[in-house]
Structure 1
């Protein structure tokens, strides 16, 4: 999972979702935007990862950057 090259916009979406979640204010719109972004990313021809791998990897780099995500 660590070798996935996440686009900046997808990282930004996950960052926004994580901040909202921590504040107890995650909106359906933000959660949907993250989900749709992940689905679109996985659908690209150059991505050889499952939706779950992408979602887990994205959460890891946003929520645990010190772990080398």
Structure 2
């Protein structure tokens, strides 16, 4: 499956926000968690839109993007 670069970029951004949670606690953790969730929501919306437009399975596309980002950089 060919994965559009913008989807990879959005997942990378969400993962970068998630990584910033390490070592935080209290309100800093809560604020960063909100930022991560917002980035993840943007990624999810883009996956849904692309899957619908391309006529591909949404879950398969999401997993392919996540695998590409987490295992191939």
TM-score (norm 2): 0.72
More helix by share: 2
1:21 to 18, 23, 35: 18
* Bigger relative contact order, structure 1 or 2 (CA pairs below 8 A, ≥6 apart): 2
RMSD: 1.7
Q: Per-residue CA shift, 1:29-49, capped at 9, x if unaligned?
A: 2111001000010011xx343
What is the 5 A alignment of 1:1-69?
4-24=1-21, 25-26=32-33, 27=35, 28-44=37-53, 47-65=54-72
In 2, Cα distance between equivalents of 1:53 and 1:11? 14
- How many aligned residue pairs are there? 61
SS at match of 1:49: coil
TM-score (norm 1): 0.76
Structure 2: gaps spanning 5 or more residues: 22-31
